[in-house]
Structure 1
Amino acid sequence: MSHSRSAKNTRHKLLGLIHLAVKRQGLSDTDYRAWLEREFGVRTSAKLNEAQLHSVVNAFRSSGWLDGQARGATGGEDRPTAGQWAKIAALSRELGWDGLEAPGLQKFVERVTKLSSPRFMTRAQARNVIAGMESWKKHRESNSKAQP
């Protein structure tokens, strides 16, 4: 098999995993495309390079989007929405952390929710984490503007 064909197969598999994760989470096309644009500057995963595709798949895996059944398929669990996960990931990066698995985020979630990991959050707890992160971000921004 040629290198080009192998790369094409890898790309095809990564795109399939991304679409599977998006479908499992019930993420709307509009929300997904907005997230792609915010994170990578494109509105379609077809325009991502292979490294970016790997980055998206790894982020989805670390958030549990590619594990087992689709969320909600286990009997009405009150799990965070895909939009909430995307917002937490984006705020995490804005606060200087490295996405959903960052130790700083883990500690923040533990302080806010008393849970050992973000993956155990409910939707309500995710709302509290997002509100706390937004508040912290605003506080940091206002303090940086006040500095001469």
Structure 2
Amino acid sequence: MAANHRQALLAKVHIAKKDLGLADEDYRYLLEERYGVASAGKLNGKQLAALVDYFVSCGWDDGSEERNRPRPGRATEKQVRAIRGLWAKHARNPDATSLGKWLHRYWKVDKPEWLTVPLASEVIVALH
């Protein structure tokens, strides 16, 4: 794997860590449990790519073209619309930022599109 590609993956890992709000101790624990290392710098290219994929599965938007495609298991468009509609109807502050903060507090995602289908159902029930 080219050094530039490895560096790009390493940068994505660090950006994902920040964007997902992972505490340093949680991040280090993840690296140790999955790969037996304390630093992402010790990972090879395949491991870095797998870690980036893992962060994407956790809801991180890596900026790739595929983010516009439906991902299996993710909230449906109908669920996302329902969540946004219920939020607008019931929230004191019905903007997207406050919805993101609320989702993060209880479901650890920042956007309704990042919820799984079952979690989106839970959110809809909670908002009723």
Partners in 2 of 1:67 and 1:47 — Cα distance?
Answer: 21
Q: Which residue of 2 aligns with 1:55?
A: 50
Contact kept in structure 2, 1:20 and 1:66, CA below 8 Å: no
Give the letter aligned to residue 97 of structure 2: G
Contact kept in structure 2, 1:21 and 1:65, CA below 8 Å: yes
Partners in 2 of 1:17 and 1:45 — Cα distance?
Answer: 11
TM-score of the superposed pair, with normalisation by structure 1:
0.46
Contact kept in structure 2, 1:11 and 1:50, CA below 8 Å: yes
Percent identity at matched positions? 38
Q: Which deviations, in whole Å up to 9, do the C-alpha atoms of 1:83-125 show, x marking residues without a partner?
A: x68xxxxxxxxxxxxxxxxxxxx6xx73xx573xxxxx76xx9
Give the letter aligned to residue 65 of structure 1: W
| Per-residue deviation, 1:38 | 1.0
Distance change in 2, residues 1:33/1:75 (3 Å): same
Partners in 1 of 2:45 and 2:33 — Cα distance?
Answer: 18
Partners in 1 of 2:7 and 2:29 — Cα distance?
Answer: 22
Unaligned runs of 5+ in 2: 64-95, 110-115
| Per-residue deviation, 1:63 | 2.4
Contact kept in structure 1, 2:16 and 2:55, CA below 8 Å: yes
Partners in 2 of 1:59 and 1:35 — Cα distance?
Answer: 11
Secondary structure, aligned partner of 1:65: coil
1:18 is the counterpart of 2:40? no
Q: Which residue of 2 aligns with 1:35?
A: 30
| Per-residue deviation, 1:80 | 4.1
TM-score of the superposed pair, with normalisation by structure 2:
0.53
Unaligned runs of 5+ in 1: 1-5, 69-73, 86-105, 116-120, 126-148
Give the letter aligned to residue 79 of structure 1: L
Contact kept in structure 2, 1:15 and 1:53, CA below 8 Å: yes
Give the letter aligned to residue 8 of structure 2: K
Aligned residues between the structures: 82
Greater relative CO, 1 or 2 (CA 8 Å, sep 6+):
2
